[in-house]
Structure 1
């Protein structure tokens, strides 16, 4: 029991360090888009959920390191990952490339900054699916480009740029 608690505490500390770094904002790694906002973390999460719905996509998954840490009595900056997709895209993706299915849903990442504003980031669908383009051909490339535009509109709506 002690060892389990010790491991759990160690993992929580590592997660806290990672999330603290992420909450400071970051430059966009290759294939990512990162948009800083003046919105609070809860407001950006709510705006993202509304934007997903407005663009007629599905909110498929949601996970929050903040909620997980809180359940262990640890406070960390806001951190939520929201997986977005839609079944018609899933069917088209799988028709083009079965291996590409591991990448769905595609995720948005909302992080709280030290000044209590929030940042929205995501890997573009084209970047996510690029490793499968040889397998999926033009059908997968076209699908990824279509999703790029939708994900950008979702981000623009959520951040107030649309």
Structure 2
């Protein structure tokens, strides 16, 4: 018997609320729940949707694995050598390197761009005037190796060696 025949004339609601289980997740508002309520059966559409999402997941995992192995195969760029490491390669005698290290550590802290605000001394070895380092290379402002080369030459000419320069520095706090 229809509603009209039974004398019940209630129109259906104009804005029906979705079933409660649809509201448990934001995206669930766009589709019915994945799992049936008690007494309902699973439709083929639901089974296909579950299978498709698993295929997508497997495909994504495989793609990430392939991308990861490709990235691992690309050789990493070598990090630029530190000024100290460059000096160690240039100064073979451990005592001479230790003396050079002491001076540079005190003068610039191994910062090849260090500038003395009051005197204008510049670089690892705090050359004054800084432009003197151009005799070792035109890249003296930006290349620690050029500054080290110039500094070693200066120490050897003026003090006989980095050890001689360090001995002078310890007594005078400059060289």
Q: TM-score range by the shorter chain?
A: under 0.3
The structure that is strand-richer by fraction is: 1
**Bigger relative contact order, structure 1 or 2, given CA contacts below 8 A and separation 6+?**
1
TM superposition score normalised by structure 1: 0.27
TM-score normalised according to structure 2 size: 0.25
